[in-house]
Amino acid sequence: MSRLGRLLIVLFALLAATASARADDYHELVAKLGSDSFSDKEAAAQKLGELGDGRAIPVLKALSDGLLYTTSDNRVVIAEPSGDGFKITDAADGTALGEVKEDAITKVRVNNRLRGLITGALSQMTLFSTDRSQRLTAARDALRHLTPESTANLERALAKEQDTEVRQALTLALSAAQLMSGTKEQRIAAIGVLSASDDPEVRSLLGQLANSGDLDPEVKQALSAAQSNLEHRLMWIGFAQNLFQGLSLGSVLLLAAIGLAITFGVMGVINMAHGEMIMLGAYTTFVVQQIFRATLPPSWFDLYLVLSVPAAFLVAGFAGIVLERTVIRFLYGRPLETLLATWGVSLVLQQLVRTVFGAPNKEVSNPSWMTGGIDILGGGTITWNRIVILGFCAVVMIALSLVLRRTSFGLHMRAVTQNRDMAAVMGIPTARIDALTFGLGSGIAGIAGVALSQIGNVSPNLGTIYIVDSFLVVVFGGVGNLMGTLAGAMSLGIVNKLLEPVAGAVLGKVAVLLAIILFIQKRPRGLFALKGRAAET
């Protein structure tokens, strides 16, 4: 046997010895978790974290979830409720121990301090995990659970880390740890690193330090410079985020209001059942989804939403045409009566849907290409469904304006809007145009329902949530004008979302409502009023 061989044997032996020593430690620590004294448990949890043994992860998780129990023979077990009793497995080595009754085991009690330690220990351990995404989460978590031991741990992890993104997160967390407990130079350097980050947590850390009193003047100066810099940047990021939220809300409002703008603008008809057309669209989406689930293989499921759009358009459009032919056409020229009658229709439709589908919310799931989101600076995410809806809204707007400008139906519709009598004289079948226009407006409401089903609950009173808002959009933007509706929806959405952080969600909304009420006083015909003859009627 060569020297090398012998050396290897010695090495292996040594390794095995340390491994078994560590294993013993591990078993001992797990056993200690079952102790009655909180300080023992705390020490054990902390040591388990420092040990870095992956087997401890489920044990600690079970402890913090309250699933860790001790048996009468002082064995620490993980218990899962099954039937009347519990299925237990040994916590340390995971051997199944069968089922027991509830009184055979005692729960290991946890307090908040212990829970905090567990979280810290868990994130320490995952710093060394083999899975990159786990390490990344752990590195980001480390920033939120700084302990005196963090520095050493993070330094170790940073030395081993190869991945750039994880390294960044680790550096950030390490700087944060040094900021709280390092030397003067370390602190100033840490402030430099931290001030480049947009994490809101960093801001609160800097704030904590600034408030902690006796600081070196140099540190203090660096700190206040970094703080104002950071404040400034975070403000802009927050602003941009609110802006996006506003655009997103605006696109939802726009989808809900376009159909209304058409029927209100072209026919002067107040359709209070418009919200229920949105609801019908959302329920159509639900039905299409159920059909896909029941009949087609799961791989096709993502396509259900694509099919829902025309389905919802047809269902709501048909409902709209029926509504126009049976109720509204008898009420032309009597807008207040139309308002009341369509309100009645909305009540009937709501109750109908409630009777057929039941009152509870229906679950409509996002297809896989709409789930998740993009992480952006400052710790926020922009979800895909919001982005898709924004794009979808743009497509609908473009398609609609093409229909209005490039088709003979659109031409007829515009002619009727501008001068009904003259259009009739020119041979345009105004009654048919009315019915089709109403169908178009309702169909678009149905499409809006498809979009809304992706971001909120599908319930019988889905429509009532949007009806007041959509009316305000139309009135604000100006009647009979798509650009006005677009501007109205977007400005309402953005103003709403920008006011929210300042005034709170509800008060912001109240302020917007009051502002519109005042605005209408000044410009009773909306932002983009029709000019010329059409405006006089």
Partner 1 sequence: MTAAPKFLFDRRGWAFYLGTAAVLCVAVPLLNFLPGPSSVLRIPDYLIPLFGKYACYALLALSLDLIWGYAGILSLGQGAFFALGGYAMGMYLMRQIGTRGVYANPILPDFMVFLNWKELPWYWWGFDHFSFAVLMVLLVPGILAFVFGWFAFRSRITGVYFSIITQALTYALLLAFFRNNMGFGGNNGLTDFKDVLGFDIQAPATRRALYIASLVALGAGYLVCRAIVASKLGRVLLALRDAEARVRFLGYSTAHAKLFVFTVSAILAGIAGALYVPQVGIINPSEFSPANSIEVAIWVAVGGRGTLVGALVGAIAVNLLKTWLTGSFAETWLFVLGALFILVTLVFPRGLVGSLQQLSFRRRPLAAGAARESMQ
Nearer to partner 1, 391 or 504 (CB): 504
- Between the CA of residue 536 and those of 362, 418, 419, 503, 529, what are the distances in Å? 46, 11, 11, 39, 11
Min separation Cβ 479 and partner 1, Å: 9
Nearest to 263 by CA among 330, 315, 338: 338
Min separation Cβ 348 and partner 1, Å: 4
Interaction of residue 341 with partner 1, rule CB under 8 A: yes
For partner 1, which residue of 307, 314, 331, 415 counts as binding (CB under 8 A)? 331
Nearer to partner 1, 330 or 369 (CB): 330
Interaction of residue 336 with partner 1, rule CB under 8 A: yes
Min separation Cβ 523 and partner 1, Å: 9
Structure-token pair, residue 78: 């993980």
Residues between 456 and 485 with contacts to partner 1, criterion CB under 8 A: 464, 468, 471-472, 475
Interaction of residue 356 with partner 1, rule CB under 8 A: no
Interaction of residue 25 with partner 1, rule CB under 8 A: no
Residues between 84 and 123 with contacts to partner 1, criterion CB under 8 A: none
Burial class (CB in 10 A: 0-12, 13-18, 19+), 29: buried
Nearer to partner 1, 238 or 501 (CB): 501
Single out the segment in contact with partner 1 by CB under 8 A; choices: 29-37, 163-171, 342-350, 481-489. Answer: 342-350
Number of chain residues interacting with partner 1 (CB under 8 A): 42
Residues 266, 438: Cα–Cα separation, whole Å: 9
Signed CA dihedral, 351, 355, 360, 361: sign only:
negative
Interaction of residue 302 with partner 1, rule CB under 8 A: no
For partner 1, which residue of 66, 81, 192, 344 counts as binding (CB under 8 A)? 344
Single out the segment in contact with partner 1 by CB under 8 A; choices: 248-256, 350-358, 435-443, 487-495. Answer: 350-358
Min separation Cβ 432 and partner 1, Å: 21
Residues 243, 210: Cα–Cα separation, whole Å: 31
Burial class (CB in 10 A: 0-12, 13-18, 19+), 30: buried
Min separation Cβ 262 and partner 1, Å: 16
Q: How far apart are the first and last CA of the chain?
A: 107
- Between the CA of residue 101 and those of 65, 70, 81, 88, 107, what are the distances in Å? 20, 13, 10, 10, 13
Single out the segment in contact with partner 1 by CB under 8 A; choices: 113-121, 200-208, 246-254, 341-349. Answer: 341-349
Single out the segment in contact with partner 1 by CB under 8 A; choices: 67-75, 226-234, 343-351, 429-437. Answer: 343-351
What mask of x and - would describe binding to partner 1 in positions 495 to 534, judged by CB under 8 A? ---------x-xx-xx--xx-xxx-xxx-x----------
Angle between helices 430-453 and 217-267 (to 10 degrees): 150
345 close to 327: Cβ distance less than 8 angstroms: yes
Min separation Cβ 496 and partner 1, Å: 12
Nearest to 444 by CA among 537, 337, 309, 326: 309
- Between the CA of residue 472 and those of 261, 290, 297, 393, 485, what are the distances in Å? 11, 34, 43, 19, 10
Nearer to partner 1, 236 or 330 (CB): 330
For partner 1, which residue of 100, 210, 237, 339 counts as binding (CB under 8 A)? 339
DSSP 36: S
Residues between 257 and 276 with contacts to partner 1, criterion CB under 8 A: 270
Nearer to partner 1, 395 or 517 (CB): 517
54 close to 60: Cβ distance less than 8 angstroms: no
486 close to 357: Cβ distance less than 8 angstroms: no
Nearer to partner 1, 120 or 259 (CB): 259
For partner 1, which residue of 243, 347, 377, 529 counts as binding (CB under 8 A)? 347
Min separation Cβ 351 and partner 1, Å: 4
Nearer to partner 1, 429 or 504 (CB): 504
What backbone phi and psi angles, to 5 degrees, belong to 238?
A: -60, -40
Min separation Cβ 200 and partner 1, Å: 25
Residue-by-residue DSSP string for 400-440:
HHHHHHHSHHHHHHHHHHH-HHHHHHTT--HHHHHHHHHHH
- Between the CA of residue 2 and those of 7, 8, 9, what are the distances in Å? 9, 10, 11
What mask of x and - would describe binding to partner 1 in positions 222 to 261, judged by CB under 8 A? ----------------------------------------
Single out the segment in contact with partner 1 by CB under 8 A; choices: 337-345, 362-370, 371-379, 416-424. Answer: 337-345
Structure-token pair, residue 249: 């809300």
Min separation Cβ 60 and partner 1, Å: 37
Name the 3-class secondary structure at 348. Answer: helix
Residues between 417 and 446 with contacts to partner 1, criterion CB under 8 A: none
Residues 534, 537: Cα–Cα separation, whole Å: 6
Nearer to partner 1, 264 or 292 (CB): 264
Residues 452, 505: Cα–Cα separation, whole Å: 20
The three-point CA angle 366-368-373 to 5° equals: 85
Min separation Cβ 386 and partner 1, Å: 23
Q: Which residues bind partner 1 (CB under 8 A)?
A: 270, 327, 330-331, 334-341, 343-352, 355, 464, 468, 471-472, 475, 504, 506-507, 509-510, 513-514, 516-518, 520-522, 524
